[in-house]
Amino acid sequence: MNRTLIRDALTNLRPPAEATVAGWVRTVRHSKGGFSFITLNDGSCLATLQVVADGKLPNYAEEIAHLTTGSSVVARGALVASQGKGQAVELQASEVRVLGRADADSYPIQPKHHTLEFLRTQAHLRPRTNTFGAVARVRNAVCAAIHEFFQRRGFLYIHTPIITASDCEGAGQLFRVTTLDVSAPPRGPDGAVDFAQDFFARSTYLTVSGQLEAETCACALGNVYTFGPTFRAENSNTPRHLAEFWMVEPEMAFCDLAGDADTAEAFLKHVFRAVLDRCAEDMKFFNDRIDNTVLDTLAHIADSEFQRVTYSEAVTLLEKAGRQWEFPMHWGRDLQTEHERFLTEETFRKPTIITDYPASIKPFYMRVNEPDAQGRRTVAAMDVLVPKIGEIIGGSQREERLDVLEARMAETHMKAEDYRWYADLRRYGTVPHAGFGLGLERCVQFVTGMANIRDVIPYPRTPRSAEY
RNA sequence: UCCCCGAUAGCUCAAUCGGUAGAGCGAGCGGCUGUUAACCGCUAGGUUCAAGGUUCGAGUCCUUGUCGGGGAGCCA
């Protein structure tokens, strides 16, 4: 069908102009004076187009007069200046074709306010609402900006496996992938399930991170990034966690922690600026209806330096804050949510990059720093914290020294043979390299102000929830 | 997984001390109107999440479970 997107009809066409539009009915107002106003949305933008259907249309009495919210419609006619007050232009229809009716008694999306919780139970229809349409468009703009940032800088987009045998130590619980009959799996002599008979002749899982594989590509191709789905079987029930989410993971050869942090900051600023520039209408909606701080916050961040502090400096700040912490802070403990929020929301009031965490609380692959003046051992790790969401990016410089890496693996009782391929990168032509991971949904949450991560992905997967 | 809160009409909510369930929106019908989530009138619509328990009597109190929300942990 050769149709005009409503976005283009509203912004690019200058009346009078002929146009055919197609979409779903938001509301209908009938006039016994002999015509109807059909408010049409096609998802191309937040705004709707008012279609005026004259009573002389051949299907007026039979179809148009009984049109309901949610019905799909194709309308052809002249785009003209509107006589009414709510809109600049409208479509004076010469033809209105009803493609599919929506029974008003059972259609769940009524022309009224619905709670986000209710709409979550209608995941297949909620994209037809203003909020979820806007989320979808902003999410798309974020993804486009992500690719654009890396492509402009010469990063290669690589694809790391979804099914993996490695568990990226410490990154959480795994979903097992198997074709074995779960009601009667083959068992070995010791009674344990014999995964040697499974599809891959070994235990396999859905990936929790493409980082280790991305490192192998970076250590050949220079700068690369992955952008794909990631799975965590953690029983996390919060507005910030999903069992299936999308992660962006750049990996850069010949790069240290400072370069990693520079890239992360430039990256976030690019994404925020792109959304402000390209999704003005949707962002105004979020600012008006969801969170009246998002526009100011994004504009401020896109133009200002991120705060950078070391973990040790952060601990000192927290100790001197003169606050009663639920979890008293001292060097060596991980930062709790209350500490991260204090730093990013109260102390600095902007995105904050915390670096150089104690080695004891971070995974084996992070590069070990020289001991500090007090002889404390840290690693070249960084977390980027933003107000309200908390950690939006986690990254590090990777340990490129074989002996140090092997010692760290031994410390944490890892099986060296499982990571032989990973150690090979250090065995043959090792280079300093660094990277980070961005949770796409947390980024979309931050940009839109949506409070619950389940509302920034079309079909959220969380514990006990995969209905659609 | 732990701690709090909640579940009543299609949706959003109300129901006093434990006394027999009500409104708005939506829907149907009628009226009116270049209307703007229109407006006015009428009508229909309920196993009060489930299972037990206390009581003459339970939407209301108790127990358990299910689901939802917030906080925490884990993290992105």
A407-448 pLDDT per residue, tens: 999 988 888 888 899 999 999 999 999 999 999 999 999 999
Q: How far apart are CA A25 and CA A255, in angstroms?
A: 53
Place of tokens 């908390």: A390
**Protein CA A458 to sugar C1' B43 (Å):** 39
- Residue at minimum CA to C1' distance from nucleotide B71: A238
Instruction: Summarize pLDDT for A4-50 with one digit per residue, the tens.
Output: 999 999 988 777 789 999 999 999 988 877 889 999 999 999 999 99
**DSSP one-letter code for A465:** B
Could you read off the pLDDT of A328-348 as tens digits, one per residue?
A: 888 999 999 999 999 998 999
CB A318 within 8 A of CB A325: yes
Q: Which residues pair with A159 in a beta bridge?
A: none
Note the strand B nucleotides within 7 A of protein beta carbons. 1-2, 10-13, 25-28, 32-38, 66-76
pLDDT bracket for residue A170 (50, 70, 90): low
- The token pair at A251 is 């990996």
For A133, residues 6+ apart whose C-beta sits below 8 A from its C-beta are A41, A43, A46, A127
Phi/psi for A10 (5° steps) reads -80, -30
pTM as predicted: 0.94
Q: At A27, list the tokens.
A: 């509301």
Q: What is the pLDDT of residues A190-231, one digit of tens each?
A: 999 999 999 999 989 999 999 999 999 999 999 999 999 999
- For residues A356 and A312, the answer to whether their CB atoms sit within 8 Å is yes
Which nucleotide comes closest to A66 if you measure CA to C1'?
B28
Using the structure, give the distance in angstroms from the CA atom of A134 to the C1' atom of B2, rounded to a whole number: 36
- For residue range A277-304, list pLDDT tens digits in order: 999 999 999 999 999 999 999 998 888 8
Distance, CA of A465 to C1' of B66, in Å: 13
Residue A216 (CA) to nucleotide B59 (C1'), in angstroms, measures: 62
